[in-house]
Amino acid sequence: MKKLILSCIVAIAAVFSASAINPFVEFQPLQVGEGWTAFNVQGGVTAKVHPKIAVGGGIGITEKWNFNHAPLIPIFARGEYSTSFKGFKPFVSFDLGYEINTDSPKHGAVLVNPMVGLKFSRWYAGIGYLGHCWTADGASSTSTFNLKIGYNF
């Protein structure tokens, strides 16, 4: 088992070292849905594993506009596919992770966030669907529309 774990770590390190690592920062000025409006700031890194495919992860902070609750801390993994088409640079990304509820840490949410957008040099913008599956007993899932504006360093 130790050899398998060590082999995986070496393989992942080789992929990331052979790739261009791109730190990013994003602002989601709008998350709206089911009576819930919030904003989010997050950052992370992605690395190209193929000329059109990147993988990575990040962390952020999400807060309601009225600041009446403690913030959520999203931690996520990201997969991204980008291409170029007649001067446009469209992309599709998929985030999967968990949001820690700082008000009640045992009641967070699993998050799923597919997004489509366009890249403009180092800037990008996209729209997505953010789904939460809350871990609290008796809680259902919620979904929101979100808009992201980001910058790759």
What token pair was written down for 21? 């690592």
Three-state SS at 103 = coil
pLDDT for 12 beyond 70: no
| Cα gap 82→148, rounded to integer Å | 16
pLDDT tops 80 at residue 23: yes
| pLDDT, tens digit (0-9, with 9 covering 90-100), for 113-152 | 999 999 998 999 999 998 888 777 666 777 888 899 999 9
Task: For the chain, list the domains and their CATH numbers.
Answer: 21-152 (2.40.160.20)
User: What are the pLDDT digits (tens) for 68-126?
Assistant: 677 889 999 999 999 998 888 999 999 999 998 888 777 788 999 999 999 998 999 99
Confidence of residue 34 (pLDDT cuts 50, 70, 90): low
Is residue 31 within 8 Å of 130, Cβ to Cβ?
Answer: yes
Which positions ≥6 away from 152 have C-beta within 8 Å? 22, 23, 24, 122, 123, 124
Copy the structure tokens of residue 42: 């997050």
